[in-house]
Amino acid sequence: MEGSTPMKNIIIAIPDVKFAEDLKKRLELKGLKTIEIIVVLDHLLSTIEQKTQQSTSIFGIIISSSLAKNIHGKRLELLSDTMLTIRERYSEIQFIFLSDETDGHPLLAELISFGIYNIFTRNSSRNLNTNEFVDLLQKPKVFSDVKHLREINTDIQWRNRPAGALDGARSININLTGGGDSKETTAATKEPVVIEKERIIERERIIEKPVVQIVEKVKEIKVPPKLVVIGSAYSGAGSTFITMAISRILHYIGINNAVVEHPAADSVLYSLLFGDSKCPKDYKFLSEQVQQNGVLVNRSTEWVDGNSSWYPAPPEGLKHINEWTSDSTLKLLYHVKEPIVLLDVSHRWSEPSIKDICLGADELFFIVDPLMPVRFYRKETKQNTDILFEVRNMGKAANIIANRDVNVPNRKEWLGSLPLTPISVVPELPYSSVISSIWGGKMIADDEELQDELIYALYGVLKRIVPPNYPLSHLKKRRRAGLIGKLFGGSGG
Protein backbone atom coordinates (compact mmCIF):
# COMPACT_ATOMS: atom_id res chain seq x y z
CA MET A 1 0.00 0.00 0.00
CA GLU A 2 1.47 3.35 -1.04
CA GLY A 3 2.91 5.32 1.84
CA SER A 4 2.80 2.39 4.27
CA THR A 5 5.81 1.16 6.26
CA PRO A 6 7.83 -1.46 4.30
CA MET A 7 7.41 -4.99 5.62
CA LYS A 8 10.42 -6.55 7.34
CA ASN A 9 11.88 -9.67 5.73
CA ILE A 10 12.12 -12.91 7.66
CA ILE A 11 13.04 -16.53 6.94
CA ILE A 12 11.11 -19.46 8.39
CA ALA A 13 13.35 -22.51 8.79
CA ILE A 14 10.91 -25.25 9.80
CA PRO A 15 10.58 -28.62 8.00
CA ASP A 16 6.81 -28.81 8.63
CA VAL A 17 5.68 -26.99 5.48
CA LYS A 18 2.01 -26.77 6.47
CA PHE A 19 2.88 -25.21 9.82
CA ALA A 20 5.40 -22.86 8.16
CA GLU A 21 2.86 -21.69 5.54
CA ASP A 22 0.25 -21.05 8.21
CA LEU A 23 2.80 -19.12 10.29
CA LYS A 24 3.77 -17.14 7.19
CA LYS A 25 0.18 -15.94 6.65
CA ARG A 26 -0.24 -14.86 10.26
CA LEU A 27 3.09 -13.02 10.35
CA GLU A 28 2.29 -11.08 7.20
CA LEU A 29 -0.75 -9.64 9.00
CA LYS A 30 1.72 -8.29 11.57
CA GLY A 31 4.03 -6.60 9.06
CA LEU A 32 6.58 -9.40 8.58
CA LYS A 33 7.23 -10.70 5.07
CA THR A 34 8.43 -14.29 4.75
CA ILE A 35 10.89 -14.29 1.85
CA GLU A 36 11.82 -17.97 2.13
CA ILE A 37 10.73 -21.18 3.84
CA ILE A 38 13.68 -23.50 4.51
CA VAL A 39 13.00 -27.19 5.13
CA VAL A 40 16.57 -28.55 4.91
CA LEU A 41 19.37 -27.36 7.20
CA ASP A 42 21.98 -27.49 4.43
CA HIS A 43 20.07 -24.85 2.46
CA LEU A 44 19.95 -22.21 5.21
CA LEU A 45 23.41 -20.69 4.85
CA SER A 46 23.38 -20.68 1.07
CA THR A 47 19.95 -19.00 1.04
CA ILE A 48 21.15 -16.24 3.33
CA GLU A 49 24.27 -15.76 1.17
CA GLN A 50 22.12 -15.57 -1.94
CA LYS A 51 19.69 -13.05 -0.47
CA THR A 52 22.59 -10.91 0.73
CA GLN A 53 24.17 -10.90 -2.73
CA GLN A 54 20.79 -9.73 -4.07
CA SER A 55 20.83 -6.88 -1.51
CA THR A 56 17.79 -8.35 0.24
CA SER A 57 17.92 -7.52 3.94
CA ILE A 58 16.92 -10.16 6.47
CA PHE A 59 15.38 -8.95 9.71
CA GLY A 60 14.86 -12.23 11.49
CA ILE A 61 14.86 -16.03 11.33
CA ILE A 62 12.33 -18.31 13.02
CA ILE A 63 13.98 -21.70 13.21
CA SER A 64 13.15 -25.08 14.71
CA SER A 65 15.73 -27.60 15.90
CA SER A 66 13.80 -30.20 13.91
CA LEU A 67 15.46 -28.66 10.85
CA ALA A 68 18.53 -30.69 11.78
CA LYS A 69 16.83 -34.00 11.12
CA ASN A 70 17.66 -36.18 8.11
CA ILE A 71 17.60 -39.89 7.32
CA HIS A 72 20.64 -40.43 9.55
CA GLY A 73 19.16 -38.76 12.60
CA LYS A 74 19.54 -35.34 14.14
CA ARG A 75 22.62 -33.25 13.35
CA LEU A 76 22.39 -30.78 16.22
CA GLU A 77 26.11 -30.02 16.30
CA LEU A 78 25.99 -28.94 12.65
CA LEU A 79 22.93 -26.85 13.47
CA SER A 80 24.88 -25.11 16.25
CA ASP A 81 27.82 -24.48 13.90
CA THR A 82 25.44 -23.03 11.33
CA MET A 83 23.80 -20.71 13.87
CA LEU A 84 27.17 -19.36 15.00
CA THR A 85 28.24 -18.78 11.41
CA ILE A 86 25.13 -16.65 10.85
CA ARG A 87 25.82 -14.74 14.05
CA GLU A 88 29.41 -14.06 12.99
CA ARG A 89 28.46 -12.81 9.52
CA TYR A 90 25.06 -11.24 10.09
CA SER A 91 24.92 -10.16 13.73
CA GLU A 92 21.97 -7.86 12.99
CA ILE A 93 19.65 -10.82 12.25
CA GLN A 94 17.27 -11.64 15.11
CA PHE A 95 16.40 -15.24 16.02
CA ILE A 96 13.50 -17.14 17.48
CA PHE A 97 14.58 -20.70 18.22
CA LEU A 98 12.00 -23.43 18.78
CA SER A 99 13.73 -26.38 20.40
CA ASP A 100 12.50 -29.95 20.51
CA GLU A 101 15.19 -30.46 23.16
CA THR A 102 14.44 -29.95 26.84
CA ASP A 103 16.22 -27.71 29.33
CA GLY A 104 19.74 -28.98 30.01
CA HIS A 105 20.66 -29.83 26.42
CA PRO A 106 24.16 -28.53 25.51
CA LEU A 107 22.83 -27.12 22.22
CA LEU A 108 20.86 -24.54 24.19
CA ALA A 109 23.91 -23.54 26.24
CA GLU A 110 25.89 -23.00 23.03
CA LEU A 111 23.14 -20.83 21.54
CA ILE A 112 23.19 -18.61 24.62
CA SER A 113 26.95 -18.20 24.24
CA PHE A 114 26.26 -16.94 20.69
CA GLY A 115 23.90 -14.28 22.04
CA ILE A 116 20.69 -16.05 20.97
CA TYR A 117 18.18 -15.64 23.80
CA ASN A 118 14.76 -16.07 22.15
CA ILE A 119 14.71 -19.80 22.93
CA PHE A 120 11.64 -21.91 23.61
CA THR A 121 12.03 -25.52 24.74
CA ARG A 122 9.71 -28.47 25.15
CA ASN A 123 9.63 -27.66 28.87
CA SER A 124 7.52 -24.58 28.07
CA SER A 125 3.98 -25.33 29.18
CA ARG A 126 2.30 -22.32 27.57
CA ASN A 127 1.25 -21.92 23.96
CA LEU A 128 3.08 -19.40 21.78
CA ASN A 129 1.30 -16.91 19.57
CA THR A 130 2.16 -14.77 16.58
CA ASN A 131 2.08 -11.55 18.58
CA GLU A 132 4.79 -12.90 20.87
CA PHE A 133 6.99 -13.77 17.89
CA VAL A 134 6.63 -10.25 16.53
CA ASP A 135 7.37 -8.68 19.92
CA LEU A 136 10.47 -10.82 20.49
CA LEU A 137 11.92 -10.00 17.09
CA GLN A 138 11.54 -6.32 17.96
CA LYS A 139 12.68 -6.63 21.58
CA PRO A 140 14.53 -9.92 22.28
CA LYS A 141 14.76 -11.63 25.63
CA VAL A 142 17.71 -10.68 27.82
CA PHE A 143 20.44 -12.94 29.17
CA SER A 144 18.88 -13.25 32.62
CA ASP A 145 15.69 -14.71 31.07
CA VAL A 146 17.52 -17.77 29.73
CA LYS A 147 20.66 -18.09 31.86
CA HIS A 148 19.18 -21.24 33.46
CA LEU A 149 19.62 -23.00 30.10
CA ARG A 150 23.40 -22.93 30.64
CA GLU A 151 22.98 -25.75 33.16
CA ILE A 152 23.93 -28.83 31.10
CA ASN A 153 22.70 -32.39 31.54
CA THR A 154 26.00 -34.26 31.73
CA ASP A 155 24.39 -37.51 30.55
CA ILE A 156 23.94 -36.10 27.04
CA GLN A 157 26.75 -36.93 24.61
CA TRP A 158 27.92 -33.82 22.77
CA ARG A 159 30.74 -33.26 20.29
CA ASN A 160 32.21 -36.71 20.94
CA ARG A 161 32.48 -36.12 24.67
CA PRO A 162 30.12 -35.94 27.64
CA ALA A 163 28.34 -32.60 27.88
CA GLY A 164 29.82 -32.00 31.31
CA ALA A 165 33.27 -31.66 29.72
CA LEU A 166 32.20 -28.51 27.86
CA ASP A 167 32.97 -26.08 30.71
CA GLY A 168 34.78 -23.08 29.28
CA ALA A 169 34.72 -21.13 26.04
CA ARG A 170 34.68 -22.31 22.49
CA SER A 171 34.82 -20.45 19.19
CA ILE A 172 33.93 -21.80 15.75
CA ASN A 173 34.60 -20.21 12.38
CA ILE A 174 33.14 -21.79 9.27
CA ASN A 175 34.49 -20.19 6.11
CA LEU A 176 32.33 -20.77 3.06
CA THR A 177 33.41 -19.64 -0.42
CA GLY A 178 31.13 -19.31 -3.38
CA GLY A 179 27.40 -20.10 -3.48
CA GLY A 180 25.76 -23.47 -3.27
CA ASP A 181 24.76 -25.55 -0.33
CA SER A 182 26.86 -26.02 2.75
CA LYS A 183 28.17 -29.53 3.36
CA GLU A 184 29.10 -31.49 6.45
CA THR A 185 32.38 -32.72 4.98
CA THR A 186 34.96 -31.28 2.64
CA ALA A 187 35.41 -34.34 0.42
CA ALA A 188 32.60 -33.59 -2.05
CA THR A 189 33.09 -29.82 -2.36
CA LYS A 190 35.16 -28.08 -4.96
CA GLU A 191 35.87 -25.17 -2.63
CA PRO A 192 36.69 -26.76 0.73
CA VAL A 193 34.75 -25.92 3.86
CA VAL A 194 37.28 -25.23 6.58
CA ILE A 195 35.95 -25.78 10.07
CA GLU A 196 38.16 -24.60 12.90
CA LYS A 197 37.08 -25.22 16.44
CA GLU A 198 38.76 -24.15 19.61
CA ARG A 199 37.66 -25.27 23.03
CA ILE A 200 39.42 -24.39 26.24
CA ILE A 201 38.54 -26.66 29.14
CA GLU A 202 40.43 -25.52 32.24
CA ARG A 203 43.97 -26.31 31.03
CA GLU A 204 43.03 -28.59 28.16
CA ARG A 205 43.35 -27.11 24.69
CA ILE A 206 41.95 -28.78 21.59
CA ILE A 207 42.46 -27.59 18.02
CA GLU A 208 40.21 -29.61 15.76
CA LYS A 209 40.05 -29.70 11.95
CA PRO A 210 38.25 -32.14 9.65
CA VAL A 211 41.33 -34.35 9.29
CA VAL A 212 43.86 -33.32 11.95
CA GLN A 213 43.29 -33.23 15.68
CA ILE A 214 45.94 -32.00 18.11
CA VAL A 215 45.31 -32.48 21.83
CA GLU A 216 47.47 -31.19 24.65
CA LYS A 217 46.54 -31.97 28.25
CA VAL A 218 47.91 -30.92 31.57
CA LYS A 219 46.71 -33.24 34.31
CA GLU A 220 45.63 -31.48 37.47
CA ILE A 221 43.02 -31.58 40.19
CA LYS A 222 39.70 -30.47 38.73
CA VAL A 223 38.89 -26.90 39.76
CA PRO A 224 35.13 -26.26 39.78
CA PRO A 225 34.02 -22.82 38.54
CA LYS A 226 33.71 -20.18 41.23
CA LEU A 227 32.83 -16.47 41.16
CA VAL A 228 34.58 -14.43 43.85
CA VAL A 229 33.52 -10.79 44.33
CA ILE A 230 36.09 -8.53 46.02
CA GLY A 231 35.49 -4.92 46.98
CA SER A 232 36.42 -2.22 49.47
CA ALA A 233 34.20 -1.01 52.28
CA TYR A 234 35.19 2.51 51.17
CA SER A 235 37.44 4.14 48.59
CA GLY A 236 41.14 3.35 48.94
CA ALA A 237 40.94 0.29 51.22
CA GLY A 238 42.80 -1.83 48.64
CA SER A 239 40.41 -4.19 46.82
CA THR A 240 42.47 -4.18 43.61
CA PHE A 241 45.71 -4.93 45.45
CA ILE A 242 44.11 -7.85 47.31
CA THR A 243 42.50 -9.14 44.10
CA MET A 244 45.81 -9.10 42.23
CA ALA A 245 47.61 -10.73 45.16
CA ILE A 246 45.10 -13.59 45.26
CA SER A 247 45.38 -13.99 41.49
CA ARG A 248 49.16 -14.25 41.56
CA ILE A 249 49.09 -16.75 44.42
CA LEU A 250 46.65 -18.89 42.43
CA HIS A 251 49.03 -18.53 39.48
CA TYR A 252 51.90 -19.66 41.68
CA ILE A 253 50.08 -22.82 42.85
CA GLY A 254 48.94 -23.68 39.31
CA ILE A 255 45.25 -22.66 39.24
CA ASN A 256 43.90 -20.81 36.21
CA ASN A 257 42.11 -17.64 37.24
CA ALA A 258 40.81 -14.38 35.81
CA VAL A 259 40.77 -10.90 37.29
CA VAL A 260 37.80 -8.92 35.96
CA GLU A 261 37.54 -5.22 36.75
CA HIS A 262 33.89 -4.21 36.87
CA PRO A 263 33.29 -1.24 34.53
CA ALA A 264 31.53 0.68 37.31
CA ALA A 265 34.62 0.42 39.53
CA ASP A 266 37.54 2.84 39.53
CA SER A 267 39.62 2.02 36.43
CA VAL A 268 43.05 1.29 37.92
CA LEU A 269 43.87 -2.29 36.87
CA TYR A 270 45.25 -1.32 33.45
CA SER A 271 47.86 1.00 34.96
CA LEU A 272 48.77 -1.44 37.75
CA LEU A 273 49.47 -4.04 35.05
CA PHE A 274 51.77 -1.55 33.26
CA GLY A 275 49.29 -1.64 30.38
CA ASP A 276 51.03 0.96 28.23
CA SER A 277 54.01 -1.38 27.82
CA LYS A 278 52.62 -4.85 28.58
CA CYS A 279 49.14 -4.83 27.08
CA PRO A 280 49.11 -7.23 24.08
CA LYS A 281 48.91 -5.74 20.62
CA ASP A 282 45.36 -5.59 19.22
CA TYR A 283 43.92 -6.23 22.71
CA LYS A 284 40.25 -5.27 22.97
CA PHE A 285 38.57 -4.62 26.30
CA LEU A 286 35.92 -7.23 26.96
CA SER A 287 33.54 -4.79 28.63
CA GLU A 288 33.63 -2.57 25.53
CA GLN A 289 32.87 -5.53 23.26
CA VAL A 290 29.93 -6.57 25.40
CA GLN A 291 28.54 -3.04 25.46
CA GLN A 292 29.01 -2.44 21.73
CA ASN A 293 27.95 -5.84 20.37
CA GLY A 294 25.89 -7.38 23.13
CA VAL A 295 27.83 -10.60 22.58
CA LEU A 296 31.43 -11.67 22.04
CA VAL A 297 31.43 -13.21 18.54
CA ASN A 298 35.18 -13.40 17.94
CA ARG A 299 37.43 -13.68 20.99
CA SER A 300 40.09 -11.01 20.75
CA THR A 301 43.74 -11.28 21.75
CA GLU A 302 43.85 -12.28 25.39
CA TRP A 303 45.97 -10.75 28.11
CA VAL A 304 47.52 -13.66 29.97
CA ASP A 305 50.37 -13.88 32.45
CA GLY A 306 51.01 -17.49 33.41
CA ASN A 307 47.84 -18.82 35.06
CA SER A 308 46.36 -15.31 35.45
CA SER A 309 44.17 -13.70 32.80
CA TRP A 310 43.48 -9.97 32.95
CA TYR A 311 40.23 -8.26 32.00
CA PRO A 312 40.69 -4.59 32.96
CA ALA A 313 38.15 -1.90 32.23
CA PRO A 314 39.29 0.75 29.73
CA PRO A 315 41.75 3.08 31.54
CA GLU A 316 39.69 6.14 30.63
CA GLY A 317 36.52 4.43 31.84
CA LEU A 318 33.72 2.78 29.88
CA LYS A 319 31.70 5.11 27.68
CA HIS A 320 27.99 5.27 28.48
CA ILE A 321 28.58 3.55 31.83
CA ASN A 322 25.07 4.61 32.84
CA GLU A 323 23.78 2.07 30.29
CA TRP A 324 25.67 -0.81 31.95
CA THR A 325 23.22 -3.19 33.66
CA SER A 326 23.24 -6.40 35.68
CA ASP A 327 22.53 -8.21 32.43
CA SER A 328 25.67 -6.64 30.93
CA THR A 329 27.71 -7.94 33.86
CA LEU A 330 26.29 -11.45 33.42
CA LYS A 331 27.28 -11.38 29.74
CA LEU A 332 30.76 -10.12 30.66
CA LEU A 333 31.30 -12.93 33.16
CA TYR A 334 29.87 -15.59 30.82
CA HIS A 335 32.62 -14.89 28.30
CA VAL A 336 35.40 -15.43 30.87
CA LYS A 337 36.57 -19.04 30.56
CA GLU A 338 38.82 -19.47 33.62
CA PRO A 339 37.41 -21.58 36.47
CA ILE A 340 38.19 -19.04 39.23
CA VAL A 341 36.91 -15.55 38.43
CA LEU A 342 37.91 -12.68 40.73
CA LEU A 343 35.56 -9.73 40.16
CA ASP A 344 36.96 -6.45 41.53
CA VAL A 345 34.11 -4.01 42.25
CA SER A 346 36.17 -1.35 44.09
CA HIS A 347 33.88 0.42 46.61
CA ARG A 348 30.82 0.40 44.32
CA TRP A 349 28.82 -2.28 46.17
CA SER A 350 25.57 -0.30 45.98
CA GLU A 351 25.63 -0.05 42.17
CA PRO A 352 22.60 -2.05 40.91
CA SER A 353 24.73 -3.85 38.30
CA ILE A 354 27.01 -5.03 41.14
CA LYS A 355 24.58 -5.62 43.97
CA ASP A 356 22.53 -8.07 41.90
CA ILE A 357 25.66 -10.04 40.93
CA CYS A 358 26.55 -10.54 44.60
CA LEU A 359 23.54 -12.80 45.03
CA GLY A 360 24.99 -15.22 42.47
CA ALA A 361 28.58 -15.15 43.75
CA ASP A 362 30.24 -18.06 45.55
CA GLU A 363 32.39 -15.88 47.82
CA LEU A 364 32.39 -12.19 48.74
CA PHE A 365 35.27 -10.37 50.45
CA PHE A 366 35.04 -6.86 51.92
CA ILE A 367 38.37 -5.04 52.30
CA VAL A 368 39.01 -2.66 55.22
CA ASP A 369 42.15 -0.98 56.55
CA PRO A 370 43.16 0.78 59.80
CA LEU A 371 41.18 3.87 58.74
CA MET A 372 37.95 1.90 59.15
CA PRO A 373 37.02 3.56 62.51
CA VAL A 374 37.41 7.01 60.94
CA ARG A 375 35.45 6.15 57.79
CA PHE A 376 32.81 3.91 59.36
CA TYR A 377 30.26 6.69 59.73
CA ARG A 378 30.53 7.87 56.14
CA LYS A 379 27.31 7.32 54.21
CA GLU A 380 29.10 5.19 51.60
CA THR A 381 30.73 2.96 54.24
CA LYS A 382 27.46 2.40 56.09
CA GLN A 383 25.67 1.52 52.84
CA ASN A 384 28.37 -0.97 51.87
CA THR A 385 28.39 -2.50 55.36
CA ASP A 386 24.61 -2.91 55.16
CA ILE A 387 25.08 -4.84 51.91
CA LEU A 388 27.65 -7.07 53.62
CA PHE A 389 25.15 -8.13 56.27
CA GLU A 390 22.28 -8.25 53.80
CA VAL A 391 24.03 -10.88 51.67
CA ARG A 392 25.18 -12.76 54.79
CA ASN A 393 21.59 -12.87 56.06
CA MET A 394 20.61 -14.41 52.74
CA GLY A 395 23.05 -17.25 53.35
CA LYS A 396 25.89 -16.05 51.12
CA ALA A 397 29.54 -16.50 52.10
CA ALA A 398 30.70 -12.94 52.85
CA ASN A 399 33.84 -12.18 54.90
CA ILE A 400 36.14 -9.31 55.81
CA ILE A 401 39.83 -9.02 54.88
CA ALA A 402 41.84 -6.57 56.99
CA ASN A 403 44.45 -4.85 54.84
CA ARG A 404 47.54 -2.76 55.74
CA ASP A 405 47.89 -4.18 59.23
CA VAL A 406 50.39 -2.10 61.21
CA ASN A 407 52.05 -2.96 64.52
CA VAL A 408 50.86 -0.02 66.61
CA PRO A 409 49.46 0.18 70.18
CA ASN A 410 45.86 0.42 68.89
CA ARG A 411 46.15 -2.60 66.58
CA LYS A 412 43.97 -4.91 68.71
CA GLU A 413 41.43 -2.16 69.20
CA TRP A 414 41.21 -1.67 65.42
CA LEU A 415 40.78 -5.37 64.68
CA GLY A 416 38.24 -5.67 67.48
CA SER A 417 36.17 -2.79 66.09
CA LEU A 418 35.51 -4.51 62.75
CA PRO A 419 31.93 -5.64 62.03
CA LEU A 420 33.18 -9.23 61.66
CA THR A 421 36.32 -11.06 62.66
CA PRO A 422 38.53 -10.87 59.55
CA ILE A 423 39.19 -14.11 57.71
CA SER A 424 42.66 -12.83 56.76
CA VAL A 425 44.89 -10.00 57.96
CA VAL A 426 47.34 -8.62 55.38
CA PRO A 427 50.28 -6.57 56.69
CA GLU A 428 51.28 -3.17 55.41
CA LEU A 429 54.08 -3.80 52.93
CA PRO A 430 57.42 -1.98 53.35
CA TYR A 431 57.32 1.16 51.23
CA SER A 432 60.82 0.56 49.88
CA SER A 433 59.81 -2.89 48.58
CA VAL A 434 56.68 -1.47 46.91
CA ILE A 435 58.70 1.24 45.15
CA SER A 436 61.35 -1.28 44.14
CA SER A 437 58.72 -3.54 42.54
CA ILE A 438 57.09 -0.66 40.66
CA TRP A 439 60.38 0.63 39.26
CA GLY A 440 61.32 -2.95 38.40
CA GLY A 441 58.17 -3.23 36.28
CA LYS A 442 56.69 -6.15 38.19
CA MET A 443 53.64 -6.69 40.34
CA ILE A 444 54.12 -6.54 44.09
CA ALA A 445 52.66 -10.02 44.54
CA ASP A 446 55.39 -11.39 42.23
CA ASP A 447 58.16 -10.02 44.42
CA GLU A 448 59.87 -13.08 45.90
CA GLU A 449 60.69 -11.13 49.06
CA LEU A 450 57.00 -10.46 49.70
CA GLN A 451 55.26 -13.44 48.14
CA ASP A 452 55.61 -15.83 51.07
CA GLU A 453 54.21 -13.22 53.45
CA LEU A 454 51.19 -12.64 51.23
CA ILE A 455 50.55 -16.38 50.94
CA TYR A 456 50.72 -16.69 54.71
CA ALA A 457 48.46 -13.68 55.27
CA LEU A 458 45.82 -14.75 52.71
CA TYR A 459 45.84 -18.42 53.65
CA GLY A 460 42.33 -18.19 55.14
CA VAL A 461 41.00 -16.73 51.87
CA LEU A 462 42.75 -19.34 49.74
CA LYS A 463 41.14 -22.17 51.71
CA ARG A 464 37.72 -20.83 50.74
CA ILE A 465 38.56 -20.46 47.05
CA VAL A 466 40.52 -23.56 46.04
CA PRO A 467 39.03 -27.09 46.03
CA PRO A 468 39.11 -28.89 49.41
CA ASN A 469 41.42 -31.59 48.04
CA TYR A 470 43.97 -29.11 46.70
CA PRO A 471 47.33 -29.38 48.57
CA LEU A 472 47.63 -26.06 50.40
CA SER A 473 49.06 -27.06 53.76
CA HIS A 474 52.66 -26.88 52.53
CA LEU A 475 52.25 -23.23 51.54
CA LYS A 476 51.92 -21.98 55.08
CA LYS A 477 55.10 -23.82 56.02
CA ARG A 478 57.04 -21.88 53.36
CA ARG A 479 56.87 -18.68 55.37
CA ARG A 480 60.29 -17.41 56.28
CA ALA A 481 61.43 -14.49 58.41
CA GLY A 482 61.51 -12.01 55.55
CA LEU A 483 61.12 -8.26 55.71
CA ILE A 484 57.58 -8.36 57.09
CA GLY A 485 58.31 -11.30 59.35
CA LYS A 486 60.93 -9.18 61.07
CA LEU A 487 58.39 -6.39 61.57
CA PHE A 488 55.42 -8.50 62.71
CA GLY A 489 55.26 -11.49 64.95
CA GLY A 490 52.55 -13.03 62.72
CA SER A 491 49.40 -12.20 60.81
CA GLY A 492 47.07 -14.11 58.60
CA GLY A 493 44.41 -16.75 58.39
Q: Which tens digits make up the pLDDT trace of 267-294?
A: 999 999 999 999 998 898 999 988 887 6
- What pLDDT shows up at residue 373? 79
What's the rounded mean pLDDT across residues 343-359? 91
Mean pLDDT score of the chain, rounded to an integer? 79
* pTM for this model (two decimals): 0.57
- What pLDDT shows up at residue 217? 31
Examine the pLDDT at 32 and tell me if it is beyond 70: yes
- % of the chain surpassing 70 pLDDT: 78
Residue 61's pLDDT band, with cuts at 50, 70 and 90, is very high
Residue 114's pLDDT band, with cuts at 50, 70 and 90, is confident
What's the rounded mean pLDDT across residues 120-124? 74
Residue 60's pLDDT band, with cuts at 50, 70 and 90, is very high
Examine the pLDDT at 296 and tell me if it is beyond 90: no
Burial of 275 (0-12, 13-18, 19+ CB in 10 A): middle
Q: Looking at per-residue confidence, does 1 or 284 come out higher?
A: 284
- What pLDDT shows up at residue 73? 59
- What pLDDT shows up at residue 78? 87
Q: Which tens digits make up the pLDDT trace of 67-99?
A: 887 655 568 888 988 888 898 888 889 999 998
All structural domains of the chain, each given as residue ranges with its CATH number in brackets, are 8-163 (3.40.50.2300), 170-216 (no CATH), 226-487 (3.40.50.300)
Q: Looking at per-residue confidence, does 173 or 332 come out higher?
A: 332
- What pLDDT shows up at residue 307? 93
Question: Residue 72, Cβ neighbours under 10 Å: how many?
Answer: 7
Q: Which tens digits make up the pLDDT trace of 234-255?
A: 999 999 999 999 999 999 888 9
Examine the pLDDT at 189 and tell me if it is beyond 60: no
Q: Which tens digits make up the pLDDT trace of 210-227?
A: 333 323 333 457 889 999
- What pLDDT shows up at residue 183? 37
Residue 12's pLDDT band, with cuts at 50, 70 and 90, is very high
- What pLDDT shows up at residue 241? 95
Residue 299's pLDDT band, with cuts at 50, 70 and 90, is low
- What pLDDT shows up at residue 71? 56
Examine the pLDDT at 154 and tell me if it is beyond 70: yes
